[in-house]
Structure 1
């Protein structure tokens, strides 16, 4: 696993063997960030990374200059790894939160430019994440929710759906909050 671009481009991330996360593949991450950077200037954006796992997506946003990244992970080992790696890299913009991502969404009051959610594919209730984001108004106008899911899940009928991208076995559905008039 590596950081694809930005000031830490090419830096290898080697999580310990006791991390049980399923990190987004470098191939999928690189293609996803190509889509993101074709629409967004990442410098200064506020990002929420749900189900952070190894923190790979948070590190990628930090390397590219995001203003703030809230990295939510419930597993203590993963959470501590994210905190440690962010400190090692000097990513002061990453704020790790040890919490259940669903409960975090329900209690969050901050708005973000980009929300990335990569729940375990078999976790119950993952299909409710887009709805929770809309209900709580967590996206700034024009903001994106990027939802990683299995090929068996179809979220294209949900409000705000923009597009779906597939990279191998990895599927990303992008939702967009309309700009305000």
Structure 2
């Protein structure tokens, strides 16, 4: 019996801890879905068979002592039997810090822009851009790119950060308008 730490392959969020025996490991390999050994029921358990919340294997790694597996998975739905995304949702001790996973920030902003396109809100600048169409969106992308160049010639790094953020926002509006996701962009970038 070996413990398995399960992480979301995109965000690296720890989803759960479970156990595998050799049969569970072999079943995981053959199905491509995480299969564990339930110590309470004394049987194999493919995650999601009853809930539909499957964990599709992306990678399996073993630690240096060869006594713990790290599984990176594509999690469908909740990992925890309580309905939470992760089993680790209760803080016992927590120092205040500001965690910013770049991909999560980009995806959250992208999803907000997509929501504005699907559910327009009166007075929304994002909806103004969508209403004006692709030419207006592209004009703003071009303007913001030029403003980055101008800001980079100035000594104030705060101005550059501000202009880069403006550019990224307008670029994401263009991405949503064209139906391009961050996953597709990152896939392309990883091929270079």
The answer to whether TM tops 0.5 is: no
Bigger relative CO (Cα 8 Å, ≥ 6 apart):
1
Q: Which has the larger radius of gyration?
A: 2
Greater fraction strand = 1
Query: What TM-score, normalized by structure 2, do the two folds share?
Result: 0.23
Query: What TM-score, normalized by structure 1, do the two folds share?
Result: 0.24
